Amino acid sequence: MDPYSELMLIRASRRRRAWVAVLVAAMLAAGCGLGGSAGPHKRQSPYAGPLDAAVVHAPAGAMRGLVAADYRLFQGIPYAAPPVGALRWQPPQPAARWSGMLDATKPGPQCVQEARPGKTSENCLTLNVWAPMSGPSGKRPVMVWIHGGGFINGASDIYNARWLAAKGHIVVVTINYRLGALGFLAHPALDQSDALGNYGLADQQAALRWVRDNIGAFGGDPAKVTIAGESAGGMAVCDHLVAPGSAGLFRAAIIQSAPCQAQADLAAAQRASVKYAASMGCSDPATARQCLLDLAPTDLARPPWYSHIGDSDALTSPVTGTPTLPMSPVAAFAAGKAAKVPVLIGVNHDEFTMFAALRYLKRNHGVTAAEYAGVLTDIFGADGRAVMARYPPDRYGGDVSLAYAAAVTDGVFACVADRMAVALSRNAPVYAYEFDDPNAPAPDNLRRAPFPVGASHSLELRYLFKVGGAPPLDLAQRALSDQMIAYWSQFVTSGEPKVAKAPDWPALRGDHAPWMSLRPDGSRVMTTFEESHQCPFWATLKGRS
């Protein structure tokens, strides 16, 4: 998800808007990862510098990429056949082995999304490979990064992974996957494969298989693959931990700021899909499939909404209760049915302040005292009054917006992550963190809000990736960035975030276990995460224990 756009966040004219799809559009607007057009299916590389061509011979075919002093980059590599024509709403098919030399010096097209009208393509199943130029000999461990964006926007080329490759000595793969209606529509008329409602998730599995078969040519070790993602990307990681088709494709997982409880169930997704098809003029069940297939990709840029946080905010998501995803991840974790692999999981200290700030910018005012009970009921239903009593504005300097943001941070992100971490730790090592830089650089628009956004949703990404849209890191933040890159890279390398000359990061051990607090004034282990986010209170609420 993206910290940077209002596009998909706030309700407009009572239309549902996605509360998790905020990061990408602002980064796109800031121009990160983007350049001028180089034809309908390629864009100019955004990575400046004295780059020379390099050639790799992989089982998929030969390709020419870019070489800099400390990394190599190969972009726009097709990992599956174009999902167009008869392959729309079908499981991804293997990409044909190309002849000759593939030009891998430019990123491929972004998948169809409302945030980039007219500038995307249905032919978008490509990935990028970042590989270090120097470091330890032998095959390098691999991190496959799944982008966020509420499953409705985002792209692989937003994430410049040179720091992880050059400093962490790991290979990083960033992937595109089908989004919105093209990736997750669950209309009954399309039920001709096990991938119904999960085409985008199946794309990710296809990318993981491509990595298994080809990453050795880039110096990567196919036996040492870690899947990682933030927000919607983190939700996808949760899915892969329990999806049968993902078994054996990775050996560790990283989950960042992921509300994995927000997955859609099949019945709800089908109802929303039928309603969506009708809005597109495809209401007759007998002809709905062909009607949908006849629509232009641009007609399908507007996504369906599945999972709802109250009456106003919603997102598209993978669909549970299906062959691809039989159980919801949170339920599967609790039942001990997740892959038994090391997991690094965490949240940001102030996850929801970004959304509160965008609400303020949209309406020209924050949440008022008169609105407070209503917005909490909107999100937490019958528990809204109890949440309001637990999060009085007086505790937050009288600022209703900050009280609202704290309640949703704790109830939707922090305490969900805590429950998942504890459940997963019963069967495999789990390392939990909280990113807590109160002055994390934020996009210009968020800094116009009358309250600080702090360590808000997605702001940790610029400590791992070179992304735009906000002021640069200062010296202390740069040191924290280096530390985080070392922790993440070492976890990818060994399954443990053990770094010399950095605070020891212990694994979780039962309830009230240690969490690593990542701070620019010195990272430290803490044992008060549950209390500081009031998780015992949230465990008492109906349906949240």
CATH classification at residue 500: 3.40.50.1820
Please give the structure tokens belonging to residue 227.
């899947």
Question: What percent of the chain is modeled with pLDDT above 70?
Answer: 88
**pLDDT tens profile 382-421:** 999 999 999 999 999 999 999 999 999 999 999 999 999 9
Band of residue 543 on the pLDDT scale cut at 50, 70, 90? low
| Alpha helices (runs of H) in 475-540, residue ranges in sequence order | 475-494, 529-532, 535-539
Please give the structure tokens belonging to residue 313.
């905010």
pLDDT at residue 36, rounded to an integer = 31
**pLDDT tens profile 92-102:** 999 999 999 99
Shared domain check, 424 and 331: no
Within 10 angstroms of residue 149's Cβ, the number of other Cβ atoms is 34
- Give dist(CA 532, CA 361) in Å, integer: 28
Q: Which of 341, 372, 402 is at the close of a domain? A: 341
Shared domain check, 399 and 259: no
**pLDDT tens profile 67-124:** 998 999 999 999 999 999 999 999 999 999 999 999 999 999 999 999 887 789 999 9
Average pLDDT estimate for 450-471: 94
Shared domain check, 162 and 78: yes
pLDDT at 17 over 80: no
Band of residue 308 on the pLDDT scale cut at 50, 70, 90? low
Shared domain check, 538 and 457: yes
- Give dist(CA 185, CA 192) in Å, integer: 13
Shared domain check, 209 and 121: yes
pLDDT at residue 136, rounded to an integer = 67
Average pLDDT estimate for 461-470: 93
Shared domain check, 367 and 506: yes
Q: What range does the domain containing 166 cover?
A: 61-264+324-341
Shared domain check, 497 and 465: yes
Q: CA 531 → CA 406, 423, 433, 516, distances in Å?
A: 13, 18, 15, 15
Looking at the structure of the chain, the number of domains it has is 2
**pLDDT tens profile 177-234:** 999 999 999 999 997 788 999 999 999 999 999 999 999 999 999 999 999 999 999 9
31 lies in some domain: no
Q: Which of 341, 376, 398 is at the close of a domain? A: 341
Beta bridge partners of 431: 344
**pLDDT tens profile 470-499:** 899 999 999 999 999 999 999 999 999 999
pLDDT at 11 over 80: no
Q: Which residues are catalytic?
A: 231, 351, 457
- Give dist(CA 158, CA 176) in Å, integer: 11
Band of residue 423 on the pLDDT scale cut at 50, 70, 90? very high
Task: Say which residue the tokens 């704290």 belong to.
Answer: 406
Please give the structure tokens belonging to residue 135.
């470091």
Q: What is the mean pLDDT of the chain?
A: 89
- Give dist(CA 260, CA 346) in Å, integer: 12
**pLDDT tens profile 126-140:** 999 999 987 667 899
282 lies in some domain: no
Please give the structure tokens belonging to residue 3.
């910290």
Shared domain check, 384 and 251: no
pLDDT at residue 52, rounded to an integer = 39
43 lies in some domain: no
**pLDDT tens profile 239-286:** 999 999 999 999 999 999 999 999 999 999 999 999 999 999 999 999
- Give dist(CA 266, CA 241) in Å, integer: 19
300 lies in some domain: no
- Compute the half-sphere exposure of residue 423: CA atoms within 13 Å on the CB side of its CA: 20
pLDDT at residue 432, rounded to an integer = 98
Q: Which of 341, 372, 406 is at the close of a domain? A: 341
φ, ψ dihedrals at 215, nearest 5°: -70, -20
297 lies in some domain: no
71 lies in some domain: yes
- Give dist(CA 423, CA 404) in Å, integer: 28
**pLDDT tens profile 317-349:** 999 999 999 999 999 999 999 999 999 999 999
Shared domain check, 336 and 219: yes
Shared domain check, 525 and 436: yes
pLDDT at 310 over 50: no
pLDDT at residue 544, rounded to an integer = 54
- Give dist(CA 288, CA 189) in Å, integer: 6
- Compute the half-sphere exposure of residue 82: CA atoms within 13 Å on the CB side of its CA: 12
Residue 264: CB partners within 8 Å, gap ≥ 6?
186, 197, 272, 306, 307, 316, 317, 318, 319, 320
290 lies in some domain: no
Please give the structure tokens belonging to residue 246.
């993902």
Shared domain check, 178 and 202: yes
pLDDT at residue 6, rounded to an integer = 31
Please give the structure tokens belonging to residue 421.
């971490």
pLDDT at residue 314, rounded to an integer = 64
Give residue 479's region: left, alpha or beta (phi > 0; psi -120 to 50).
alpha
18 lies in some domain: no
Shared domain check, 402 and 337: no
Secondary structure (3-state) at 406: helix
Instruction: Identify which has the larger pLDDT, 541 or 4.
Output: 541
